[in-house]
A = this chain, B = another copy of it.
């Protein structure tokens, strides 16, 4: 009951505040949009100084990127929770899960896709990888549905399909330029997936 615990106690407190800061930032982004996120607001809400935010995340981008990282992670978790028993149902499930996530966390998803780095610093590799991995999740069910096609082809197809779904959803949810009436989005999205699959030679689900 000495070194290790003392250290862990300190670390635990540090981690706890780090989590608090992230949670506050996420809540702010989620409710008021990325543009309204201010260092001072976060620091004040967390009951600490501005400098502490910088100690923890390096700079403001660091905080935003941390939130975005967790957003991709949450999204991925949700997408991976879609049952993989039936490939056709899985594809619909993936599209629907994305829609659900985008509906519930519109501003967080926007923060992920719209945030630009300060100056010309490179976009973090790990986030990039996570997003690409998420967008590749349609590959597995598509491969099962299209066993005769070239796997490399299917890999591209799946990312295209997911990108298309992303486009439909992100524009559809954009309250300012409502491309599709919200209440219809869900069923239209399913219809879109069906149509596209039909175009790929897959018969519709029963």
Contact = CB atoms under 8 A, between A and B. Distances in A.
Interface of A: 33-35, 114, 116, 118, 122-123, 128, 131-132, 135, 156, 159-160, 162-168, 170-172, 176-180, 184, 188, 192, 194-200
6 shortest interchain CB distances as A-B pairs: A167-B167, A199-B199, A164-B164, A195-B199, A123-B176, A198-B199
A123 B192 contact: no
B179 A163 contact: yes
B123 A179 contact: no
Contacts of A196: 195-196, 199
A188 B154 CA distance: 12
Contacts of A164: 163-165, 167-168, 192
Nearest to A34: B116
Given A114-B114, A159-B180, A198-B198, 19 more contacts: A34-B116, A35-B116, A123-B177, A128-B176, A132-B178, A135-B171, A156-B180, A156-B184, A156-B188, A160-B168, A160-B179, A160-B192, A163-B180, A164-B167, A165-B167, A194-B199, A196-B196, A196-B199, A199-B200
16 contacts: A114-B114, A123-B177, A128-B176, A131-B177, A132-B178, A132-B179, A156-B180, A156-B184, A160-B168, A160-B188, A162-B179, A163-B172, A164-B167, A164-B168, A195-B199, A196-B196
Contacts of A116: 33-35
A177 B114 contact: no
A171 to B, nearest CB: 4
A135 B170 CA distance: 14
Contacts of A195: 196, 199-200
A131 B180 CA distance: 13
